Structures are given as structure tokens and as C-alpha cells.
A = this chain, B = another copy of it.
Amino acid sequence: MRTSKYQSIFQHIRDKILNGDIPANTYLPSESELQQQFNASRDTIRKALDLLLQNGYIQKEKGKGSLVLDTDKISFPISGVMSFKELKETMHEDVITHVHKFVKYPVTPRMKKELGMDEGDVYEVVRIREIDGKKVIIDTDYLNAQVIPGLTKEHAANSLYEYIEGTLGLKVSFAKKEIVVVPASEEEKELLDMYEYDLLVCVKSYTYLEDATLFQYTESKHRPDKFRFVDFARRTV
């Protein structure tokens, strides 16, 4: 099977919630009802419900049932590992990408550290994102050329992840991210439509493949008024 049973049950229920077929503040069918409905074991149903739980679609209440949460109040989580192209598709805004720089060179001391490499080449890709006619984001990607070979400027103009996951068949698995605020350099001020701002919100990400290979380090700098990060978190003891 390409996608597992519990994955497809998760998607099925999630879509119903998103479409409003199952309204917020109502309860899902009980686990035993879902077993019959999807002809699955309880464990399989529970795995699907766990995904809904982790992603903030439902809240389970002992002795009562699975309550559907308001999802439209909060527009969609930017947390998680998403490429800019995927993000764009959920935003429905006018976005243009300019590839400002595309180079390949032997790894520098700093990138040895950031990418955990010993030797080899690094691609550096600088892209400027124009949203609604304003240049508001600079993305700088550093990629390990041994892991991601054959990258071209055309891939950068389209989507790095489409090349990595589609063409190369690699699987992006997880990322560590850090958000800080940094002063804008003179060059950055020239590249972006900055108005009077002197600061940029910088999202640094380290992205890993399924086999835990670190292949990408990214700094995404956003004009402060155009930055927004949404998160859903559960308390774990």
C-alpha cells in the first residue's frame, strides 16, 4: 500500500472537518462507530485520531468523545516543515520569486559548521519574494551538494523541494527552526522594500532527510510587518 489505512482515514476525517461537513464543537462518531464505518480495528482508528489530535483538529475527552475544534479561527499553521511554494498555495496571494544569486563553491568554515560537512561543495541560493508587489522576504539557502547534486537555477526559480522530493526522490523528514530578530544590513535594505524598518525577522532552519542527513541550512528574513508565525502546541508532561 502506498499510503497506510490510518493515514487515509485521517485525511478523510480532516477533509470533512475542513469542509464543514463535521462542524466545530460537535463530537466525532465514537471509536467503535468509526471502526465499523471504516472497517478497521480500534488501533487503526486510534492512530488516525492521534494525527487529528496532534494537528489540532480535535480534542479527546475521556468518557465523552472526540470534540471537533475551531480550525478557521486560526488560519493555517506555518509551523511544520513546508516549502515556500506549498506555503504560497495556502495563502492565495500574489507571490513572485526572484532568484538573486545562484552559486556553487567549496564549503566554507562557517558552512562546515552549519551543515556539519567535512568537505565538498555547497550551493548558495538567494531568493527574493515579492508579495502583492512588495519585496518583503529574502531567503538564503545553503545546500550540501553531495546530498543534493545537479541543482540548477531553474529549480531554484520553481521549487527546491519539488526537485529534491520529486526528481531526486529524497524524503524531507524534519527540521529545527529558530526565530530571532536581526538588524537589516545595507544590502538587505536595498534588496527589499523596507520603508522605515531597520529590523528583519530571521527564521533559521536546519532541514533533514529521512535518514537524518542534514542537507539544508536556510535563513529566511522577513520584513517585520509582513511576518506571522502560527503554532499549535500540546502540553506534554
A50 to chain B: closest residue by CB: B50
Apart from the given pairs A61-B211, A81-B233, A173-B235, 9 other A-B contacts in the complex at a CB distance below 8 Å: A3-B237, A43-B43, A56-B174, A59-B210, A61-B212, A81-B235, A174-B232, A177-B230, A177-B232
A68 to chain B: closest residue by CB: B212
Residues in chain B near residue A179, CB distance under 8 A: 179, 227-231
Identify which of residues 1-26 in chain A touch chain B, using a CB-to-CB cut-off of 8 Å. Answer: 3, 7
**Copies of this chain:** 2
A186 within 8 A of B: no
Tell whether A233 pairs with B177 under 8 Å between CB atoms, given A61-B210, A67-B212, A199-B224.
yes
A213 to chain B: closest residue by CB: B59
Contact assessment for A235 and B56 in the assembled complex, using a CB-CB cutoff below 8 Å: no
Contact assessment for A80 and B234 in the assembled complex, using a CB-CB cutoff below 8 Å: yes
The answer for the CA separation of A79 and B100 in the assembled complex, in Å, is 33
Contact assessment for A231 and B59 in the assembled complex, using a CB-CB cutoff below 8 Å: no
Most buried by B among A7, A61, A181: A181
Give a binary string over A213-235; 1 marks a CB under 8 Å from any B CB, 0 the rest. 00000000000110111111111
Q: Smallest distance from the beta carbon of A237 to chain B beta carbons, Å?
A: 8
Q: Smallest distance from the beta carbon of A26 to chain B beta carbons, Å?
A: 12
Identify which of residues 28-67 in chain A touch chain B, using a CB-to-CB cut-off of 8 Å. Answer: 43, 51, 54-56, 59, 61, 67
The answer for the CA separation of A233 and B173 in the assembled complex, in Å, is 9
Residues of A within 8 A of B (CB): 3, 7, 43, 51, 54-56, 59, 61, 67, 69, 73-74, 79-81, 172-181, 199, 201, 206, 208, 210-212, 224-225, 227-237
The answer for the CA separation of A180 and B55 in the assembled complex, in Å, is 21
Contact assessment for A178 and B230 in the assembled complex, using a CB-CB cutoff below 8 Å: yes
User: Per a CB cutoff under 8 Å, which of B178, B228, B235 touches A180?
Assistant: B228
Residues in chain B near residue A61, CB distance under 8 A: 210-212
- 7 inter-chain pairs at a CB distance below 8 angstroms, sorted by A residue, are A61-B212, A69-B212, A80-B235, A81-B235, A173-B234, A173-B235, A175-B233
